[in-house]
């Protein structure tokens, strides 16, 4: 059979499958518009609250407390409270990584670089006068302690607004407990007649929070959500559509009619794949266009990487869909299985909530999903403006999972042929 | 001259775990023949046609269509076959033309050739131009059946498998489809028709295989099969009066095997019962003979031996049980 004929057959299968979605209002809603509908509803209604296991909050600490500073006209370098503070952070179960400087986001090894790549959730900068301030070492000419303020700076990742808020709350809680503890210890060192005075005037530490400059442009919440919705597109347009296509055709008998025509099973499969890809890309286009038109999102458009990421992610989604579609007894069963999988799955891909707020097992599950990798890669590329090499691990993961899941889907499809 | 066989099923068995759906079955269908597979649901007709079409593999035995074996050259066989499934297998969201274009492309047609062929078939199946522009979901059952058949004819197949093509149709649409099948027969298509409707088999088929429990229990032309049954066609005539001379006159008509007087069904009046092998041929002669004696004919009833009677005689069950 000629290649031209096979291509013609693939095109016929793909076109017919595609028209099946375009001419079905329910299918249009669930396949193309549901992800958009969902993101708008979730975005406007969902609160940003939650408690985190501290170990999943990863803090980069820039401890400047050991640096020489001017103190009462003499230099002092015996600062130790900053180190104790860091140890206390670790004792409180935060995951702490030390950095020499905050630096710049394009300088490897700095805290700014790490936060801009999503390696850490926040950076805490401990000021150089931390020990001196907290232990009231500043004195006036008469030798009396002068309450002095030093600024702890907490820099959070703005691309993850929910995670940033949780991190901020957790760190604030820790700092206030720490200060209270040490404050009491230090105040006890003062003569009793001064303790009340010191307690009233001493407020040596102020924590300010700022957002890390992980992007060149100022971004809104929706800017971070839109790339995440591409994961939803894979689930709702890829997985959902693919899970119905073979099952529906088998139930209606059109699949059997294709099988008795002089058409290789691979041709039918490729036609279905082509149609599913077209639907995924169309849905992604609608989603991104809506983001631009409705929410004026401000993103970076690395089109080749976006297309590649969606393609590889779609292979996984279509593969899972094929498995469902081939093994389900009929159209209704396929639909039920697909919904049971799709609805909870979308909460595990990091599009709505950071995985760090989930229980460890749920987080591990979420991280194993190819859709999560797509969300991560797209957020890195579209909001953080990271180059392709920064998302290579995610792309490789997507490619591997895409090939494996599509192959399993193909095997399931072959099994279907034997069960007709 | 002996005709070539287009379909040869040789010692074919199909097992589904413990069930034997088709049991060591052999048939040959000659070129241009309309061959009927008649039997109740579950007799194995659909399994057999699925094996001929390549959808199922036989457990044992061989099937050839034209000169190709379905096991060895499935693609070649599929090129020769046109299959009309029992169910309406069309895409509801496409119109007739789009459905036909899709199936045509599966069979390698494209461009102008495909367009012309679709036009020919829309005309052949008498689907009007306005209707074919609507989605198939809006069609009547008869229209859907006609498109269903047209989809199998696009590539001008040598052999047609028609699986219960008139199932669920009203008499008018059923006869319209029979006309189409007759036309296909005139085009010298080899047709294998599965049905559980005896009138359909009698009306259309050159030969009929009666199947039960996966086996062929009788094979022959409808008239040959009817003759196998020890039952006779009976014409029951109720005249306003009966005389011995009238009975004798009727006995003298060519084709009459026996004549006797018996009570009519309501047993209030007497009727003349005529036993014959050719009821259609002699019925006018009987009526005219009675009328010529100045006797009025009050009613006429014809009891014909059917393939249903054949099946009941052979199996003790009716076709619909």
Residue A46: per-residue pLDDT = 42
Residue B72: per-residue pLDDT = 92
Nearest-CB residue to A258 (from B53, B56, B106): B106
Residue A279: per-residue pLDDT = 92
Residue count of chain B: 321
Residue A42: per-residue pLDDT = 57
For the structural domain made of A54-202, what CATH number should be given? 3.40.190
For the ranges A347-361, B34-48, B93-107, the lowest mean pLDDT is seen at: A347-361
Mean pLDDT of the region A231-246:
89
How far apart CA A149 and CA A138 sit, in angstroms, is 10
How far apart CA B181 and CA A87 sit, in angstroms, is 90
Give this prediction's pTM: 0.72
Nearest CA in chain A to B153: A261
Nearest-CB residue to B89 (from A5, A8, A253): A253
The larger pLDDT score, comparing residue B118 to residue A295, is at B118
Cβ distance A12 to B93 less than 8 Å, yes or no, reads no
Confidence of residue A391 (pLDDT cuts 50, 70, 90): very high
Size of interface A-B (CB pairs under 8 A): 66
Distances in Å between the Cα of A35 and the Cα atoms of A46, A184, A238, A311, A336 are 16, 53, 11, 18, 18
Count of CA atoms in the C-beta half-sphere (13 A) of B274: 32
Report chain A residues whose CB lies below 8 A from the CB of B135: 23
pLDDT at A52 over 90: no
Mean pLDDT of the region B223-228:
82
In chain A, ranges of CATH 3.40.190 domains: 54-202
How far apart CA A115 and CA A122 sit, in angstroms, is 7
pLDDT at B12 over 50: yes
pLDDT at B108 over 50: yes
How far apart CA B27 and CA B11 sit, in angstroms, is 9
pLDDT at B25 over 50: yes
pLDDT tens track for A328-358: 888 889 989 998 898 888 888 988 777 777 7
The CB density around residue A187, as the number of other CB atoms within 10 Å, is 16
How far apart CA A350 and CA A367 sit, in angstroms, is 9
Mean pLDDT of the region A140-146:
71
pLDDT at A72 over 60: no
Mean pLDDT of the region A379-398:
90
Question: Is B107 an 8 Å CB contact of chain A?
Answer: yes
Residue A83: per-residue pLDDT = 84
For the ranges A201-205, A258-262, B16-20, the lowest mean pLDDT is seen at: A201-205
Confidence of residue A51 (pLDDT cuts 50, 70, 90): very low
Question: Is B157 an 8 Å CB contact of chain A?
Answer: no
Give the tokens for residue B320.
Answer: 């619909």
Chain B stretch 39-68, residues whose beta carbon is closer than 8 A to a beta carbon of chain A: 53-56
The helix-helix angle for A360-368 and A370-382 (nearest 10°) equals 80
Report chain A residues whose CB lies below 8 A from the CB of B78: 260-262
Residue A68: per-residue pLDDT = 61
For the ranges A170-179, A244-253, A260-269, B147-156, the lowest mean pLDDT is seen at: A170-179
pLDDT at A217 over 70: no
pLDDT tens track for A160-196: 777 787 788 788 878 777 777 766 776 777 777 777 7
Average pLDDT, chain B: 88
Confidence of residue A49 (pLDDT cuts 50, 70, 90): very low
Confidence of residue B41 (pLDDT cuts 50, 70, 90): confident
Cβ distance B106 to A259 less than 8 Å, yes or no, reads no
Map residue B10 onto helix, strand or coil.
strand
Q: What is the ipTM of this complex?
A: 0.77
Across A25-39, A55-69, B55-69, B213-227, which has the greatest mean pLDDT? B55-69
pLDDT tens track for B266-290: 656 788 888 888 888 889 999 999 9
């Amino acid at each position: 059979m000629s290649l031209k004929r096979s291509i013609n057959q693939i095109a016929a299968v793909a076109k017919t499958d595609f028209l099946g979605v375009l001419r079905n209002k329910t299918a249009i809603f669930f396949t193309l518009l549901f992800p958009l509908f969902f993101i708008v509803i979730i975005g406007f209604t969902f609160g940003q609250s939650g408690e985190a296991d501290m170990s999943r909050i990863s803090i980069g600490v820039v401890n400047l407390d050991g640096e020489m500073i001017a103190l009462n006209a003499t230099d002092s370098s015996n600062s130790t409270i900053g180190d104790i503070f860091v140890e206390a952070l670790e004792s409180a179960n935060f995951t702490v990584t030390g950095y020499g400087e905050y630096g710049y986001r394009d300088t490897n090894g700095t805290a700014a670089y790490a936060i801009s790549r999503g390696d850490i959730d926040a950076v805490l900068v401990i000021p150089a006068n931390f020990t001196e301030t907290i232990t009231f070492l500043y004195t006036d000419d008469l030798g009396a302690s002068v309450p002095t303020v030093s600024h702890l700076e907490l820099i959070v990742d703005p691309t993850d607004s929910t995670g940033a808020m949780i991190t901020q709350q957790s760190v604030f809680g820790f700092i206030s407990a720490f200060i209270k503890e040490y404050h009491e210890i230090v105040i006890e060192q003062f003569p009793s007649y001064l303790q009340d005075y010191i307690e009233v005037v001493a407020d040596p530490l102020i924590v300010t929070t700022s957002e890390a400059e992980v992007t060149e442009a100022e971004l809104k919440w929706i800017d971070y959500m839109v790339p995440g919705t591409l994961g939803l597109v894979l689930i709702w347009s890829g997985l959902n559509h693919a899970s119905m296509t073979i099952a529906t055709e088998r139930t209606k008998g059109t699949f059997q009619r294709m099988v008795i025509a002089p058409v290789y099973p691979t041709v039918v499969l490729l036609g279905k794949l082509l149609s599913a890809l077209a639907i995924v890309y169309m849905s992604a286009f609608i989603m991104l266009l809506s983001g631009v038109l409705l929410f004026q999102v401000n993103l970076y458009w690395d089109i080749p990487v976006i297309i590649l990421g969606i393609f590889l992610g779609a292979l996984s989604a279509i593969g899972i869909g094929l498995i469902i579609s081939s093994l389900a007894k009929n159209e209704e069963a396929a639909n039920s299985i697909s919904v049971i999988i799709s609805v909870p799955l979308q909460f595990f891909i990091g599009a709505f909530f950071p995985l760090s707020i989930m229980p460890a097992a749920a987080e591990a599950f979420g991280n194993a999903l190819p859709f999560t990798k797509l969300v991560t890669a797209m957020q890195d590329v579209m909001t953080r403006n990271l180059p392709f090499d920064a998302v290579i691990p995610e792309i490789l993961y997507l490619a591997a999972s895409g090939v494996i899941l599509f192959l399993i889907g193909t095997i399931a499809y072959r099994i279907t042929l034997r069960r007709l | 001259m002996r005709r070539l066989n287009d379909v040869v099923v040789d010692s074919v068995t199909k097992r589904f775990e413990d069930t034997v759906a088709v049991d060591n079955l052999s048939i040959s269908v000659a070129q241009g023949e309309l061959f009927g597979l008649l039997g109740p649901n579950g007799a194995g007709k659909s399994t057999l046609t699925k094996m001929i079409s390549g959808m199922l593999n036989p457990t044992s035995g061989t099937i050839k269509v034209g000169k190709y074996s379905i096991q060895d050259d499935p693609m070649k066989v599929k090129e020769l076959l046109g299959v009309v499934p029992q169910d309406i297998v069309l895409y509801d969201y496409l119109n007739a033309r789009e459905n036909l274009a899709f199936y045509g492309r599966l069979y390698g047609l494209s461009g102008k050739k495909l367009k012309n062929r679709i036009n020919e078939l829309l005309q052949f199946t008498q689907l009007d131009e306005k209707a074919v522009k609507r989605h198939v979901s809006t069609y009547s059952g008869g229209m859907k059946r006609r498109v269903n058949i047209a989809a199998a004819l696009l590539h001008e197949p040598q052999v047609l498998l028609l699986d219960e093509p008139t199932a669920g149709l009203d008499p008018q649409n059923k006869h319209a489809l029979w006309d189409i099948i007759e036309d296909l027969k005139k085009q010298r298509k080899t047709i294998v028709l599965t049905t559980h409707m005896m009138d359909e088999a009698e009306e259309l088929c050159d030969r009929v295989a009666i199947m039960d429990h996966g086996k062929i229990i009788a094979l022959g032309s409808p008239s040959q099969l009817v003759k196998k049954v020890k039952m006779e066609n009976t014409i029951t005539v109720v005249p306003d009066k009966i005389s011995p001379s009238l009975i004798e006159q009727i006995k003298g008509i060519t084709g009459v095997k026996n004549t006797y007087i018996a009570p009519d069904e309501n047993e209030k009046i007497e009727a003349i019962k005529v036993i014959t092998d050719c009821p259609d041929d002699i019925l006018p002669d009987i009526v005219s003979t009675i009328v010529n004696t100045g006797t009025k004919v009050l009613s006429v009833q014809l009891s014909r031996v059917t393939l249903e009677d054949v099946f009941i005689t052979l199996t003790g069950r009716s076709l619909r049980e």
